[in-house]
Amino acid sequence: GQNIDQPTEMTATEGAIVQINCTYQTSGFNGLFWYQQHAGEAPTFLSYNVLDGLEEKGRFSSFLSRSKGYSYLLLKELQMKDSASYLCAVSRSGATNKLIFGTGTLLAVQP
Amino acid sequence: GAVVSQHPSWVICKSGTSVKIECRSLDFQATTMFWYRQFPKQSLMLMATSNEGSKATYEQGVEKDKFLINHASLTLSTLTVTSAHPEDSSFYICSARETSGTNIQYFGAGTRLSVL
């Protein structure tokens, strides 16, 4: 089976840095994704890690450790518009590489 | 690039009627598309995987006769909710993955279905 865990809610201050953790247990791991979802909207792609290490893209970075079944999303210089749900999703190897989503972390950025 | 269009964005229907939702990849070909369902404040639950030219693969617990999926071309998949009931009210989201490309799924804007 598979299990993906991430905190339900987090609060951070505008301009600060926040780290959202995700742990997973799955068979046939084929990469880990982070998506951002604003309320009532569809998820938008943020990052994709398939190898261990840190991937940096502007204010957002994502880290993966396959041996530990662990990833985090790091958001720097937080802005109010970063208030959203952040979804961790694991891709399982196979004909379709379907994604299994975690429950999401609702981030509230305060002034 | 990698734009996925989903239509309609909002639909209200009477109980017992059928509703069709379209998912199109606008600037890429997608052999595989996915249909998800999301309840308020919950994450996405995969309903089925739509494969161009073949039958869809449904997740456990999803009624294939209730949620009909057709993937007739490399850019279009449709989900039809048949004989809709109030408990089918939800946010339905599709995604598409490029046929020749990365493993990234790009999502449509979603369809909010309300069954009266």
Q: DSSP assignment of A11-27, as one string?
A: EEETTS-EEEEEEEE-S
Local confidence pLDDT in tens for the 111 residues of chain A: 568 999 999 999 999 999 999 999 988 888 999 999 998 888 999 999 999 999 999 999 999 999 999 999 999 999 999 999 999 999 887 767 788 899 899 999 999
Calpha distance A71→B107 (Å, rounded): 22
pLDDT tens per residue across span B34-43: 999 998 878 8
Chain B residue with CA closest to A42: the answer is B109
CB B46 within 8 A of CB B57: no
> In this structure, is the dihedral angle defined by the CA atoms of residues B29, B46, B116 and B40, taken in order, positive or negative?
negative
At A97 the pLDDT is 76
Percent of chain B whose pLDDT exceeds 70: 97
The token duo for B28 is: 């890429």
| Substitution target from B23, B103, B112 for chain A, most A beta carbons within 10 A | B103
Report A:84-103 residues touching B (Cβ under 8 A): 87, 91, 96-103
Residue A69 forms contact with B (CB below 8 Å): no
Cα dist from A67 to A7, A23, A55, B100, whole Å:
21, 11, 17, 29
**Minimal CA–CA distance to B19: which of B92, B99, B109?**
B92
CB contact under 8 A, B42 and A103: yes
Render pLDDT for B51-103 as a digit per residue (tens, 0 to 9). 888 889 999 999 999 999 998 888 999 999 999 999 999 999 999 987 766 77
How distant, in Å, are the alpha carbons of A18, A39, B76, B80, B109 from that of B71? 41, 28, 6, 12, 19
